[in-house]
Amino acid sequence: MADTLVVTFPQDAKGRPFIDDALGGAAEVVYLADLDDDQARAAALRSATAVLARNTAKELRPHEAALLEHAKLIQFINAGVDFVPLNAFPPQVPIASNGGAYAEPMAEHALAMVLAAAKRLLVEHEALKTGAFNQHKRNRTLAGGVCGILGFGGIGVATARLMRALGMKIHAINRRGASDAPTDWIGTPAQLDTLLAAADVLIIATPLTPATLGWIGARELGLMKPDAILANLARGEIVDEAALFAHLQATPRFQACIDAWWIEPVRHGSFRMDHPFLTLPNVIGSPHNSASVPGTGETGLRRAVANIRRALAGETPLYLVDADQRMM
């Protein structure tokens, strides 16, 4: 029997050829959105060898997730899957995120935000509006400093590449405490304090899990240099919101670049913050648009399907979701 890939989200005529091309004939593709009948949907899901999904909370009907017990892989096109009810799937079926799929534009975004903070670009832009010409107000150079990267997967590695080009040393943390990508120092989560104390720039690029929820709190922020720059590309909830706001108020030389917020439209249905971060001069914000550049949709599809092909070929897929992530 031929392998079948079930795509759970709607895909227009422009996107379907990307999936076909990336799949290379390795499986027949069935689009769940084309099937209205409950029995046809159930039959497709029961026969699925692999699944390509975005947000199954919206794409699957009640009890449909349980039908995927024979799938070799449930592959999401999202890099972060903390907002998806993963515990609805049969526990024996592997689940993979699309880790690193959007790494290159996100790394550029991190670099832009950090440089804007270090060079005081937004602050001095606003000052110029008032007629203030602060030519001799000192800004910073990043060369020679330490860029600490919390989460050294695809995004972290891509960001490290750009930061190293500026002349920064790369210190990183991942679960293994090792990486094929070059670093000047790498440790495990147990060595977080060492990373924080050394970092002139801290890039947060780790998944949200029970272990990373609220990982950066008041104690951790207090370990950092008073003029450090924190940039969060991952999930707002990794950083304690109240603690960060208090630290920014008490430590005006400390800066935060926030792309990932605590309450966001895609995951929560609205944008909200419990503290007025954007009133602070040492905050730069963006609307979690670090991956929103032309071509990312195609790139994400191709990388997700490439991981599906690994599973169909009997190879171990990349970016498998572990047990603690499945409990989010």
d(CA 176, CA 156): 14
Rounded to 5 degrees, what are φ and ψ at 257?
Answer: -110, 110
Helix axes 296-312, 16-23, angle to 10 degrees: 40
d(CA 181, CA 191): 19
pLDDT for position 57:
93
Of the candidates 199, 200, 100, 213, the one whose C-alpha atom is nearest the C-alpha of residue 159 is: 100
pLDDT for position 142:
97
CB neighbours (10 Å) of residue 117? 24
Walk me through the domains of the chain, giving residue ranges and CATH numbers. Answer: 4-100+295-327 (3.40.50.720), 103-285 (3.40.50.720)
pLDDT for position 326:
77
What token pair was written down for 155? 């995004």
Helix (H) or strand (E) holding 170: strand 169-173
Q: Which residue has the tokens 């990388």?
A: 303
Do the beta carbons of residue 98 and residue 304 sit within 8 Å?
yes
d(CA 56, CA 58): 5
d(CA 16, CA 159): 31
Do the beta carbons of residue 120 and residue 287 sit within 8 Å?
no
Q: Which residue has the tokens 């191709």?
A: 302
> How far is residue 177 from each of residues 14, 163, 174, 207, 216, measured CA to CA in Å?
41, 20, 5, 16, 19
Helix (H) or strand (E) holding 178: none
| Strands of 69-153, DSSP E | 73-76, 95-96, 146-150
> How far is residue 16 from each of residues 4, 23, 98, 152, 283, measured CA to CA in Å?
15, 11, 18, 32, 41
**From the DSSP assignment, how many helices (H) and strands (E) are in the chain?**
11, 12
d(CA 284, CA 110): 11
Of the candidates 196, 190, 113, the one whose C-alpha atom is nearest the C-alpha of residue 159 is: 113
pLDDT in tens, the chain (328 residues): 689 999 999 988 888 998 999 999 999 999 999 998 999 999 999 999 999 999 999 999 999 999 999 999 999 999 999 999 999 999 999 999 999 999 999 999 999 999 999 999 999 999 999 999 999 999 999 999 999 999 999 999 999 999 999 999 999 999 999 999 999 999 999 999 999 999 999 999 999 999 999 999 999 999 999 999 999 999 999 999 999 999 999 999 999 999 999 999 999 999 999 999 999 999 999 999 999 999 888 899 999 999 999 999 999 999 999 887 777 6
d(CA 303, CA 77): 8
pLDDT for position 5:
97
pLDDT for position 296:
87
